[in-house]
Amino acid sequence: MTNSGKILVTGGRGKTGSRIAKRLTDLGYAVRTADRGTPAPGSTNKHVTFDWFDETTHEPALKNVDKIYLVGPVAVMDPSKIVLPFVARAVKAGVRRVVLLSSASVPEGGPVFGKVHQALRQLVPEWVVLRPSYFMQNFTEGHHGAQINSDGTMITATGSGRVGFVDADDIAEVGVRALIDEQSHNTDHVITGPQSLSYAEAGEIIGAIAGRTIKHVNISTEELAAGMMKLEMGEDYARFLAGLDEAIRLHSTEDQVTDTVEHITGRPPRSLHDFAVAHASYWKQK
């Protein structure tokens, strides 16, 4: 595949989008980031304002683009109604390859991005779906990190269920290869770290590195959903997310380890221990 056009990175300031955009730029690719905000400080990429719910922002984002990293709208139960018309428009404008960010918990044809995943093979000549497990960055950039620093706890409804926590840098590297490899992967990639861990075990690893006690507090699925709704998340989406925790607890849906990172990138995925060592200062008690 020739590098004749720009690569559009939607969600350009997000956990994976920002990393993918930087890596592509470092490799010499022409990148355009797109999201509802302004460019990240220090960014050297071209940036456009992009809003999934404002079609007037779509055409400028697609100009001279031949590949897209696709991060759909957040907290929308059926984004296919918004995303698929955009994808069809993109293909008509000359886009040949789309790499979609989905989730290891969401199969093809499943809820949320499952419908988009299912449709890509019909809509796009070249396609890849990234299905990562839960991000290690949730312990730093995300809600668990804030809770740890608030009271030394992590609150979930996962019980003793295990998760193949993965570093966003590893997800991004798989995404970069999916975008630039000559031969399109034309498949979905379940992306995990090197081991599956319960939240209690993750807390022990982080706590040992940070020099403090970090405990997992298990609550009911209903309590978790109610807490999300108190933060003004829609009821359907809150129940969906809480249901993912329940599925981890009852059905071990995230208890898996894949070789995707090493197979695609040539290097092993980062362990939670190594991630914790690199980010230990975040959790140090002041």
Determine the residue type at 205.
I
Residue 180 lies in a domain: no
Residue 101 lies in a domain: yes
pLDDT in tens, 215-270: 999 999 999 999 999 999 999 999 999 999 999 999 999 999 999 999 999 999 99
Count CB-CB contacts under 10 A for residue 17: 24
Residue 44: predicted pLDDT: 56
The CA distance from 39 to 31, in Å, is: 12
Residue 2: predicted pLDDT: 42
Determine the residue type at 43.
S
Same domain for 144 and 65? Answer: no
Q: What SS3 state is found at 137?
A: helix
Q: Which residue has the higher pLDDT, 4 or 92?
A: 92
Same domain for 109 and 214? Answer: no
Residue 139 lies in a domain: yes
Residue 286: predicted pLDDT: 56
pLDDT in tens, 52-61: 999 999 999 9
Contact (CB, 8 A) for 80 and 115? yes
Q: Domain containing 245: what range? A: 134-165+192-255+270-286
Same domain for 103 and 148? Answer: no
Same domain for 139 and 248? Answer: yes
Q: How far is CA 217 from the centre of its chain?
A: 24
- The pair of structure tokens assigned to 104 is 């290891």
Q: What average pLDDT does the segment 77-99 reach?
A: 97
CATH of the domain at 72: 3.40.50.720
The CA distance from 36 to 58, in Å, is: 12
Quickly list DSSP for 60-111.
HHHTTEEEEEE---TT-S-THHHHHHHHHHHHHTT--EEEEE--TTS-TTSS
The CA distance from 222 to 230, in Å, is: 12
Q: Tell me: pLDDT of 175 over 90.
A: yes
Same domain for 70 and 60? Answer: yes
CATH of the domain at 222: 3.90.25.10
Contact (CB, 8 A) for 272 and 154? no
Same domain for 279 and 138? Answer: yes
* Domain finish residue from 132, 154, 182: 132
pLDDT in tens, 177-196: 999 999 999 999 999 999 99
Same domain for 106 and 160? Answer: no
Same domain for 278 and 161? Answer: yes
Rounded to 5 degrees, φ, ψ at 148 are -60, -45
Q: Whole-model pTM?
A: 0.95
Residue 215 lies in a domain: yes
Strands (E), the chain: 6-10, 31-35, 46-49, 65-70, 97-101, 126-132, 153-156, 162-163, 187-191, 197-198, 215-218
Same domain for 78 and 106? Answer: yes
Q: State the average pLDDT for the chain.
A: 95
Residue 141: predicted pLDDT: 87
Same domain for 145 and 284? Answer: yes
Residue 186 lies in a domain: no
75 Ramachandran zone, left/alpha/beta (phi>0; psi -120 to 50): left
Q: Return the half-sphere exposure (C-beta side, CA atoms, 13 A cut-off) of residue 221.
A: 14
The CA distance from 162 to 198, in Å, is: 4
Same domain for 141 and 66? Answer: no
Residue 1 lies in a domain: no
Residue 14 lies in a domain: yes
Burial letters 46-82, b for 16+ CB under 10 A, else e: ebbebebeeeeebeebbeebbbbbbbbeeebeebbee
pLDDT band at 1 (very low <50, low <70, confident <90, very high): very low
Looking at 2-16, 133-147, 190-204, which range is the least confident one?
Answer: 2-16
* Domain finish residue from 132, 156, 177: 132
Q: How many domains does the chain have?
A: 2
Residue 5: predicted pLDDT: 80
Taking the CA atoms of residue 58, residue 61, residue 62 and residue 68 in that order, the dihedral angle to the nearest 10 degrees is -110
Nearest to 133 by CA among 52, 55, 56, 189: 189
Residue 48 lies in a domain: yes
Could you identify the residue written with the tokens 């995943």? Answer: 117
Same domain for 151 and 75? Answer: no
The CA distance from 191 to 131, in Å, is: 6
- The pair of structure tokens assigned to 42 is 């220090």
